[in-house]
Amino acid sequence: MFSAKVQDAINHQVNNELSASYIYLAMAAHCEHENFMGCAQWLRLQSQEEYGHGMRLLDFLLARDGAVKLKAIAEPAVKFKSIANVFEDALKQEQETTKEIDELYELTLHEKAFAALVELQWFITEQVEEEKTAREIVAKFHMCKDDPSALLDLDRELGGRAPTGA
């Protein structure tokens, strides 16, 4: 079993992942409202992925006989200047998550919570992928600028995202 410090930190990360899920859901709703149905589909799937990350940590905590303590999820901000801006925010959010995971890893290392270190390695690898994907999408939006046909193509491409098991 983990120290109270490690349990608190994992519970906090469950909240971070569920908050990310909620923010992606708000982004999806915004895009769908703006008729960017492909972007909305991509973001809905991303929301589900983040929910999966939260559940993965929750299940891990329970498997180690830890105490789950669910916290309040903050209301997402839904002010976006453009659809590109939605994905710029998504990239920022992923960069923040990477920091959170790194800090959690550092804490578990310090606390010698070895099972958590192994579990968190999955999250470290996942963040490399998450940041890379978001960065590529932002770059594509920057290439499209305000060209409607390019934006429609990109929307169609994002809508082709296949569901992935988190």
- Tokens 């990477």 found at: 98
Between 119 and 130, whose beta carbon lies closer to Fe ion? 130
In the complex, least distance from residue 20 CB atom to Fe ion, rounded to whole angstroms: 6
**Phi, then psi, of 36 in degrees rounded to 5:** -95, 80
Cβ-count burial 116-136 (b if 16+ within 10 Å, e if not): beebbeebeebbeebeebbee
In the complex, least distance from residue 35 CB atom to Fe ion, rounded to whole angstroms: 25
In the complex, least distance from residue 150 CB atom to Fe ion, rounded to whole angstroms: 26
Between 129 and 147, whose beta carbon lies closer to Fe ion? 129
Between 85 and 153, whose beta carbon lies closer to Fe ion? 85
Q: Could you give the C-alpha distances from 68 to 24, 55, 91, 120, in angstroms and in order?
A: 24, 11, 29, 17
In the complex, least distance from residue 94 CB atom to Fe ion, rounded to whole angstroms: 5
Which positions lie near Fe ion, rule CB under 5 A?
17, 50, 53, 130
- Rounded CA separation 140/30 (Å): 19
Between 57 and 113, whose beta carbon lies closer to Fe ion? 57
| Amino acid (1-letter code) at residue 135 | R
